[in-house]
Amino acid sequence: MDNSTPHRTHPVEKPLRGRTAVVTGGTRGVGAGIARAFAEAGARVLACARRPPEQPLHGVEFTPLDLRDPSAVRAFFATLPGLDVLVNNAGGTPYRLLADADAERHARVVELNLTTPLTASLAAYEHLRRARGSIVMVGSVSGSRPSPGSAAYGAAKAGLASLAASMAVEWAPEIRVNTLVVGMVRTELAHLHYGGPDGIAAVCETVPLGRLAAPADIGAAAVFLASDAAAYISGASLQVHGGGERPAFLAAATAGRSVPATPTAPEER
């Protein structure tokens, strides 16, 4: 009897075939990675942002939309015949110390990263309720640790995780809501945050998995949360950060003495 694995002759199943997904800010960086992953998973993907992608994204439809305009957001979702997945990805912030700007400027960062996802989710609510769909919030590790230089952003992402958890309870069982807690990602703008190749290499050394995430890594995680494989997952925060950060005290505790790069187990005797 041959117990070997049979050769697969049929194509890999596309987990989001026949579903429609909206990805906010889905034209570059992490958003583009998510949009591509959803298209590859078989979904009809609508990416909305203020500016079109610099390079066309295969299988992704673009709609110009200012997500800070609630009336425009409601009008956009009202035109859709249906919707299965909303990915609230639009967001970001420049590096800005708190005392270097007034409260109004920081408030705009909070608006983009917290109020905008709420606006889009409310506008999509009826579609998602009818489809028994899901929402994926794109959060950040900045929401769970100090974020000097991006304090308003970190506060907004902390609020986003709380909003998603409450939304998951209020809107169950019709709509699942989860958050991707994203770490450092190597996008086309990574050099602005981490410097050139040497800076990026140095930052990679701080990540347990030894590299920054690729946008495709975030896209794959978003596809999972939107798919039937995650049918019993709601109100969760999935950390996609390569293992997090090595505690700073470890470097201080070993300063000036030689230690193995990787701890080794004692010999068995």
Give the Å distances, CA to CA, from 175 to 5, 31, 226. Answer: 38, 22, 11
Is 95 one of the catalytic residues? no
From the candidates 125, 153, 194, 232, give the one annotated as an active-site residue.
Answer: 153
Residue of 121, 131, 113, 116 lying closest to 178 (CA atoms): 121
Which tokens belong to 241? 């950060």
Which tokens belong to 33? 């990675």
The catalytic residues are 153
